[in-house]
Amino acid sequence: MAPTKDPAGGFGDEREADPHAIPGEEAPSGAPSGSCPPVEDLLGRLNLEEEEDAGFVWEDEVKEPDVKAKWLAIAKVHTNRGFSPSALFADMRSAWNPAQEVTWRKLEDNLFTIQFACLGDWNKATKQGPWVFRNQAVMIEEYDGFSNPKSVVLDKIMVWA
């Protein structure tokens, strides 16, 4: 086969080399040239002895890592009157102007958990208050996501004087 000039300016062989090909082996018949052999064929060629197989971790044995709750807060609206949670969410979204998604979960009538997607949004909501909703205080505290939400004390609001 004669070398030809490729578009990049170099000289190469007319046929293209398969970067995934196993050296010294031909592509299976019926498989297009330059394609990888199916996984089943590769696993069929794998010859593990019993003592080797004991240390091999199969995919279904792998445990998913525990997801740690990050950037959580707990919030309480200091009111006994009823209100629309979606109105609260919209007002706080407007006040905080978060860079990423904020997920609210209702625990009770006026108690919520808030999951922030980034640290900057969490810092703003938890440290740059005070926040109000319909002239009522919205108290926000850091929350670990595991402890009882009712054990978090929400009885103060910080203000600049």
Q: What is the average pLDDT across 146-159? A: 83
Residue 24 has a pLDDT of 54
DSSP state of 144: -
What global pTM score does this model have? 0.54
pLDDT single digits (tens) 57-77: 556 655 655 555 688 999 999
pLDDT single digits (tens) 8-37: 555 444 445 555 555 555 555 555 555 677
How far is residue 71's CA from residue 118's CA, in Å, rounded to a whole number?
7
Q: Is 132 exposed, middle or buried (0-12, 13-18, 19+ CB in 10 A)?
A: middle
Half-sphere exposure of 101 (CA within 13 A, CB side): 2
Q: What percent of the chain has pLDDT over 90?
A: 23
* Structural domains of the chain, with CATH: 72-145 (3.30.70.330)
pLDDT single digits (tens) 94-138: 999 999 999 999 998 889 999 998 999 999 998 888 899 998 889
